[in-house]
Structure 1
Amino acid sequence: MTDLERKVYRILYNMSRFRKNPSMEDLKRKTGKSEAFIRKAVKNLMSREELTWDKEKREWKFK
């Protein structure tokens, strides 16, 4: 897991504990990276099944 992937994972995990899904603007501000880098990191996490999106509940699921 790269540093950016780890950072995005932790942000999503910590914010989801309080029932809040961060917006792309939140992620850009907290990581200091562009939308393209963040999307790539999330795709990588999802491809390794460390992170999944529950469409019904509209929340992240973590490994």
Structure 2
Amino acid sequence: MTDLERKIYRIIYNMSRFRNNPTMDDLKRKTGKNEASIRKAVNNLVSRRELTWDKEKKEWQFK
């Protein structure tokens, strides 16, 4: 897991546990990265099954 992937994973985990799911603007502000790099990192996490999206509950599921 790269540093950016780890950072995004922690942000999503913490925000979804204590608040709501983070928006793209939240992730951009907290990581300082652009949308393309954030999407790539999230897709990498999903492809490795570190994160999964539960469509029924509309929330992230963690490994």
2:20 matched to 1:23? Answer: no
- Structure 1: runs of 5 or more not aligned: none
Q: Percent identity?
A: 81
| Per-residue deviation, residues 5-42 of structure 1 (Å, max 9, x unmatched) | 00000000000112411100000000000000000000
What does residue 7 of structure 1 align with?
7
Q: Aligned pair count?
A: 63
Task: State the SS of the aligned residue for 1:17.
Answer: helix
SS at match of 2:61: strand
TM-score after normalising by structure 1: 0.97
CA–CA distance in 1 between the matches of 2:46 and 2:39? Answer: 10
TM-score, scaled relative to structure 2:
0.97
Measured against aligned partners, the alpha-carbon deviations of 1:30-59 in whole angstroms (never above 9, x if no partner) come to 000000000000000000000000001000
Runs ≥4 in structure 1, deviation > 2 angstroms? Answer: none
